[in-house]
């Protein structure tokens, strides 16, 4: 996956995507280069100048990598699936106006999981280039949707992916007051295991998500009697950061079997199958995910084969990638500060961020790679542990990172931070969330402002008796 020659093996430039590669397989964004000052540049903008202009920590999002990933998904389904298809962005990976606008402009739809994500998506579609009627391209997930969220979805004709009986019964009550039927899909738990972190496996039977297989007959029977609910499809999702292709191909056969039962026995008007997402990315050079194209080909081929075996017409095939669209498109730039040497044990270097802007290492024990962005060709001579600035011993971004010699003021660039970094960021220790910039062809635009001290107390209130 990583291509390097003998001149770059001993420096940070080894991480550059020097050969054509699927966006999810690259460590750095596709436009990453080293300029004549030996600085890492992304989207034609060098990281040192970006930090000087916008401060640090700083999320740097490469528009070209994001758009390329969208197009590879979209075009691969068009190539390998002879029926209708739709790629929807799992916006929980990172939802903001700019990202939603870019994704919409590439013809993708949206997987949303909260009222806030619905509002963000609708606002982006209203304000950005992706304006127009996108109601048929938005799907609402969640295992405990509030009535206010369901109402917002219904008002905007968003398809609701029903997760449980309480939600289903709530929608039946709501539908009685509506002039048109409410469009729904059913989230089912297929019982398929895959090798991923315990917290991000969602397709096995012991899961908080979806209806279990032993409920299907009662579920299909109940829905067949609800005239004000329009069941358009079935959905399943088996996990995240998956490198194996077989589980998704197995899932295709399971879903098609359930589709046959739902339509032929219970007469449900199901025309869509949502295969979920979960394709992994390269966080380190040891990671070896399949390419986006290979994943799509495998899924599409499996659905076609299963439909042929069951003598069914091809349904509309939906996939909902998140991490593999946005993950490798972004890096986070930090400024290196203090150093602590523990003789015979390890050396710590501290950066000006940490678990509040990237909670994945402390939450999932996730591994990352980093480079000194202002000295890319320097030899990799020191092994250090990159620590965050938070008052927490577990605030370690990268243990035993191999870097060039570092000093205070250097720019440390951590790769693959587009997914579940800003979206899971917090104000722990009352630290503001970082700014984010979108870079493209030498232009940098602020898409998320840095939170300042006044932002941190904006929601605070003092009772009158304390004044």
Binding residues for substrate: 323, 360, 364, 392, 420
Q: Tell me which residue of 56, 33, 52, 13 sits closest to 431, measured CA to CA.
A: 56
Residue in 194, 231, 307, 391 annotated catalytic: 391
Joined tokens for residue 330: 């972004």
CA separation for the pair 106, 84 (Å, rounded): 17
Q: Which residues of 216-253 are buried (b: 16+ CB within 10 A; e: fewer)?
A: beebbebbbebebbbbbbbbbbbbbbbbbbebbbbbbb
Q: Tell me which residue of 144, 257, 243 sits closest to 191, measured CA to CA.
A: 257
CA separation for the pair 353, 272 (Å, rounded): 43
Cβ-based neighbour number of residue 296 at 10 Å: 29
The full DSSP string for 200-239 is G--SSSS-SSSB-GGGHHHHHHHHHT-TTEEEEEEE----
CA separation for the pair 68, 74 (Å, rounded): 10
Q: What is the DSSP letter of 315?
A: P
Burial class (CB in 10 A: 0-12, 13-18, 19+), 173: exposed
Joined tokens for residue 182: 């409410």
Q: Who's near 357: CB < 8 A, 6+ residues apart?
A: 57, 59, 332, 421, 422, 425, 433, 434
Q: Which residues are annotated as a binding site?
A: 278, 320-323, 360, 364, 392, 420
Q: Which residues are annotated as a binding site for pyridoxal 5'-phosphate?
A: 278, 320-323, 420
Q: Tell me which residue of 420, 30, 87, 400 sits closest to 241, measured CA to CA.
A: 420
The full DSSP string for 132-172 is S--GGGEEE--SS--HHHHHHHHHTTPEEEE-SHHHHHHHH
Size (the chain), residues = 467
Question: Does residue 57 have a cis bond before it (omega within 30 degrees)?
Answer: yes
CA separation for the pair 269, 435 (Å, rounded): 46
- Is 3 within 8 Å of 20 (Cβ atoms)? no
- Is 409 within 8 Å of 416 (Cβ atoms)? no
Check if 391 is active-site. yes
Residues with a catalytic annotation lie at 391
């Amino acid at each position: 996956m990583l291509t390097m020659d003998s001149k770059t093996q001993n420096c940070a430039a080894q991480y550059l995507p020097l050969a054509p590669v699927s966006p999810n397989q690259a460590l750095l964004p596709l436009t990453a280069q080293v300029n004549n000052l030996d600085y890492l540049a992304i989207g034609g903008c060098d990281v040192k100048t970006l930090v000087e202009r916008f401060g640090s920590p700083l999320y740097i999002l490469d528009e070209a990598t994001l758009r390329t990933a969208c197009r590879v998904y979209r075009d691969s389904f068009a190539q390998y699936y002879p029926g209708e298809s739709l790629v929807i962005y799992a916006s929980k990976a990172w939802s903001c106006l700019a990202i939603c606008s870019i994704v919409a402009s590439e013809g993708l739809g949206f997987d949303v999981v909260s009222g806030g994500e619905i509002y963000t998506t609708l606002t982006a579609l209203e304000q950005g280039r992706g304006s127009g009627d996108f109601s048929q391209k938005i799907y609402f997930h969640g295992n405990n949707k509030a009535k206010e969220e369901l109402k917002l979805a219904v008002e905007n004709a968003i398809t609701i992916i029903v997760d449980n009986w309480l939600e289903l019964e709530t929608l039946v009550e709501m539908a009685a007051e509506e002039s048109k039927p409410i469009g729904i899909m059913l989230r089912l738990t297929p019982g398929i295991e895959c090798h991923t972190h315990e917290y991000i496996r969602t397709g096995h039977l012991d899961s908080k998500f979806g209806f279990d297989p032993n409920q299907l007959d009662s579920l299909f029977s109940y829905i067949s009697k609800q005239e004000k609910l329009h069941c358009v499809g079935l959905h399943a999702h088996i996990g995240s950061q998956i490198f194996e292709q077989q589980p998704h191909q197995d899932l295709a056969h399971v879903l098609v079997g359930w589709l046959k039962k739902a339509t032929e026995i219970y007469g449900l008007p199901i025309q869509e199958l949502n295969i979920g997402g979960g394709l992994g990315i390269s966080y380190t050079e040891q990671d070896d995910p399949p390419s986006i194209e290979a994943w799509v080909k495998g899924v599409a081929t499996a659905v076609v084969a299963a439909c042929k075996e069951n003598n069914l017409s091809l349904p509309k095939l939906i996939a909902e990638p998140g991490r593999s669209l946005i993950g490798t498109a972004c890096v986070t730039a930090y400024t290196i500060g203090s150093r602590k040497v523990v003789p015979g044990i390890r050396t710590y270097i501290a950066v000006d961020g940490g678990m509040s802007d990237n909670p994945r290492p402390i939450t999932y024990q996730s591994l990352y790679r980093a480079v000194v962005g202002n000295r890319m060709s320097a030899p990799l001579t020191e092994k250090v542990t990159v620590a965050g600035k938070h008052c927490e011993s577990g605030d370690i971004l990268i243990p035993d990172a191999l870097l060039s010699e570092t000093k205070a003021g250097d720019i440390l660039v951590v790769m693959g931070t587009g997914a579940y970094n800003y979206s899971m960021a917090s104000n722990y220790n009352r630290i503001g969330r970082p700014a984010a910039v979108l870079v493209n062809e030498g232009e940098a635009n602020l898409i998320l402002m840095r939170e300042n001290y006044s932002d941190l107390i904006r929601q605070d209130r003092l009772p009158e008796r304390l004044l």
